[in-house]
Structure 1
Amino acid sequence: MNKSAYIKLVNGSAQTEITLAEVKKLFEHYQHMTSLTGQQLGWDYKAAAFPYTMEEKEQGGIPYLLLNGNQTQLYHYLIVGVSQEEETGLHYIQIVLPEQATHGDLAKANEFCKYLAKRLKGELHLFNGRIIYYNPRK
């Protein structure tokens, strides 16, 4: 697949800058929320909602999160990084679907993108090129 989605922190977002550590905390919060839902339902919803392990990696001096799939038939891996646009100075989160990504990875990546964009009130640029605005537009 080898596609990317972006969550841009524009004017009106909950914050204007983001670090990889903050993204990792947002994913941990997502896992906590899904584990609480699982307790209410009586099954391990967290494992189904977040079927990845998170590893902090670095390549060429650029840090990123590698989400490795726990269920190799359904999920391979996703790559998550943060950066800043040179022209506008906007900070953004990038989620990359590598070539080996499955349709399960795509579905989970879309779900994670929507969660992050909603929490940050950002501008979500999906893998298919469409844009969802989670911030109040003036």
Structure 2
Amino acid sequence: MQENAYIKLVPASKQQVITIDEVKDLFRYYKEITGKTGSQLGWEYGESAFPYNMEEKSHGKGKWFYLKSKEQRFKYIMVGVDNESGTCPTTPYIQITLPEGFTHGDKGKANEFCKFLAKQLNAELHLFNGRIMYYYKRK
């Protein structure tokens, strides 16, 4: 059964709109900083921290992409952007989806990525287990 987590951009977030290309840039930044950590430690931590390739299908262009693993203990994670309908004003969000057949490794990495994205954007994170984490200053 698939599971979803959401990173919502609230009024206190760093930005109020996000595109799929900006999300990809955040993942590239994550890969870059973990690679630098690995070089400081003297081992290939970057490959362990981000064992995925970003792949985009033509029918999902501009809306979603997936992270496909290079390793056997991981499969893939889907990442998309959309706006929450029914709210005024609409709330943009990033959706992280673990499709059917995901591994424990995928879920661990997805949680890690969700927290990283929420922290970078000062957003509200709705985790896979339904709990909410606030990465923005609350009044």
Q: Name the TM tier (shorter chain).
A: over 0.9
Query: For structure 2, which runs of at least 5 residues remain unmatched after alignment?
Result: none
Q: State the aligned residue count.
A: 137
Q: Render the CA deviation track for 1:74-111: whole Å, top value 9, x for unaligned.
A: 10000000000111200000000001100000000000
1:86/1:118 CA distance change after superposition, 3 Å: same
Moved more, 20-29 or 58-67: 58-67
Q: Equivalent residue for 1:38?
A: 38
Between the aligned residues of both structures, percent identity stands at 55
- Whether contact under 8 Å (1:56, 1:63) holds in the other structure is no
Distance 1:42 1:83, change over 3 A: same
What is residue 92 of structure 1 aligned with on the other side? 93
| SS of corresponding position for 2:86 | coil
**One-letter identity of the residue aligned with 2:106:** D
**2:103 equivalent in structure 1:** 102
CA distance in structure 2 between the aligned counterparts of 1:61 and 1:105, rounded to whole angstroms: 23
Tell whether the 8 Å contact from 1:80 to 1:95 is kept in structure 2 after alignment.
yes
TM score, norm. by length of structure 2: 0.94
Query: How far 1:59 moved relative to its partner?
Result: 3.5
For 2:93, the aligned partner's letter is Y
Letter in 2 for 1:9: L
Query: Which runs of 5 or more residues in structure 1 are unaligned?
Result: none
Paired with 2:61 and 2:24, the residues of 1 have a C-alpha distance of 18
Q: Is residue 63–residue 82 contact of structure 2 (8 Å, CA) maintained in 1?
A: no
The amino acid across from 1:42 in the alignment is G
CA contact (8 A) 1:57 1:63 kept: no
Which TM-score applies when normalising by structure 1? 0.95
